[in-house]
A and B are shown apart, each in its own frame.
Chain A
Amino acid sequence: MKHVTLLSALIVLPCCPAWAQAPISEVSAATNAAAVVNSKSTKEQIESAIKEYGQEYKAFRKKASKEKNRKKRKKLYKNEKPNPAGTIDLVFEIAKKDPLAEGVKNGLLWGIQQADKAQRTRIIDLLLTHYKDSPELEALVENLVRHKDDPTVELRKIIKLAGDEKVRQGASYSLAKKMMSRPETKAEGIAMMKQLGASPGINTNPNLLAQLKRDLVIAEQLSIGCVAPDIVGTDQNDKEFKLSDYRGQVVLLDFWGIW
């Protein structure tokens, strides 16, 4: 059965020579190749796929580091950097066949790191189907907000389905923040952020709560069009003064230092 799994994955993904060629030559060379492949557990299959890509990438890095000419090195990265897409698809195919097997969760969490948008959606769906209660799904939220693609749909899925409260909180925070950053959804985002800040479980997540409060201050008091909150402080001679002392003048408020 697992033999078929690997072969079907290879047929689906003939475009990634590095891992595709190795097993095929193995099959043609060894008489009992089927037995060899068959004996590999899901975990082993996933780990060897990831390892193979890792070696390919490492070899590329070594080659690239020898190229001292910056322009040529840039070209090298553009043309020869190993693409992880094939490996990610392979890992996904293996995972899908036996989603609860050992090694699947880690393989998918590896895949998400360099996945494209379509792969990301597939991986998240699979993780939310079989590992919805895992606290490790926090990595999904971190990953989603790093990309330019709109994470709204995926974040909503995580909020709805994740069993771990911290994961849900992280996803709610990221979604609210995303909405606050767009003028047309700003008010809705602020409301959502306030709701999260008032939710009973948020006290177990003090760092997130502190960040959330800062974000709300920025959105509600420090945006363009807001009256600047007053600053009361002291100068280098411990003399107190206020930002509002400057009312009537245009003020360039300059946060600076030379360290």
Chain B
Amino acid sequence: MLPHERSLVSETFKGRPFSIVGVNSDSKEKLKQLVADGTTLWRNFTNEQSYGKISTEWGVRGWPTLYLIDHNGVIKHKGLRGEAMEKAIAEMVAVAEKSQ
């Protein structure tokens, strides 16, 4: 999971209109460490715990939970993983680039 996500931002979609935004459920101290050691290459909201405020508001039951949001802020996919997720991102990024 995490290695694939890192490669999405550092290689596959580098320089294109794509970002990962994390909602991280480790402690703030743990997250600092995960940023320092390069586990996460993207910015994260601190959720502090698995029943934290943001995940509760978003009705998150399982971890990880993934949403794909387009350049207009519209939710396009939920729960895609691996290759299917990468394909969907590629399509969405192409649309975002056309609209720029």
Contact check, B32 vs A246: say whether CB atoms are below 8 A apart: no
The answer, among B21, B31, B34, B57, for a CB contact under 8 Å with A254, is B21
Tell whether A235 is near chain B: CB-to-CB under 8 Å.
yes
- Report if A11 contacts B (CB, 8 A): no
Give residues of chain B (16-50) contacting chain A, Cβ–Cβ below 8 Å: 17-26, 28, 30-32, 34-35, 39, 42-47, 50
Whether A252 pairs with B8 at a CB distance below 8 angstroms is yes
Interface residues of A in 205-259 (CB under 8 A from B): 214-215, 217-218, 222-229, 231, 233-237, 241, 243-244, 246-259
**Nearest chain B CB to A219 CB, angstrom units:** 9
Report, as a range, how many residues of chain A touch the other chain: 35 or more
| CB-nearest residue of chain A to B89 | A250
Task: Name the one of B8, B23, B25, B89 contacting A253, with C-beta atoms under 8 angstroms.
Answer: B23
Alpha-carbon separation in the docked complex, A237 to B100 (Å):
32
Whether, in the assembled complex, B3 has its beta carbon less than 8 Å from a beta carbon of chain A, the answer is no
Chain A: which residue is nearest B50 at the CB level?
A257
Q: Are B74 and A250 in contact (CB under 8 A)?
A: no
Knowing A231-B54, A236-B46 are in contact, say whether A252-B21 is a contact too (CB < 8 A).
Answer: yes
A251 touches B44 (CB 8 A): no
Docked-complex contact B59 and A236, CB < 8 angstroms: no
B26 CB to nearest chain A CB (Å): 5
Are B45 and A251 touching (Cβ within 8 A)? no
Q: In the complex, are the beta carbons of A251 and B69 less than 8 A apart?
A: yes
Q: Which residues of B contact A231 (CB under 8 A)?
A: 23, 45, 54
Q: Is the CB of B55 within 8 A of A228?
A: no
Kindly state the separation between the CA atoms of A244 and B26 in the bound complex, as whole angstroms.
23
Most buried by B among A234, A251, A259: A251
Q: How far is the CB of B10 from chain A (nearest CB, A)?
A: 14
Chain B contacts to A: CB under 8 angstroms: 1-2, 5, 8, 17-26, 28, 30-32, 34-35, 39, 42-47, 50, 54-60, 63-78, 85, 89, 92-93, 96, 100
- Give the top 4 A-B pairs by smallest Cβ distance, nearest first: A257-B25, A233-B45, A253-B67, A236-B31
16 contacts between A and B (CB under 8 A): A222-B58, A222-B59, A226-B74, A228-B73, A233-B46, A236-B46, A243-B69, A249-B17, A251-B68, A252-B20, A253-B69, A255-B55, A255-B58, A255-B65, A255-B66, A257-B47
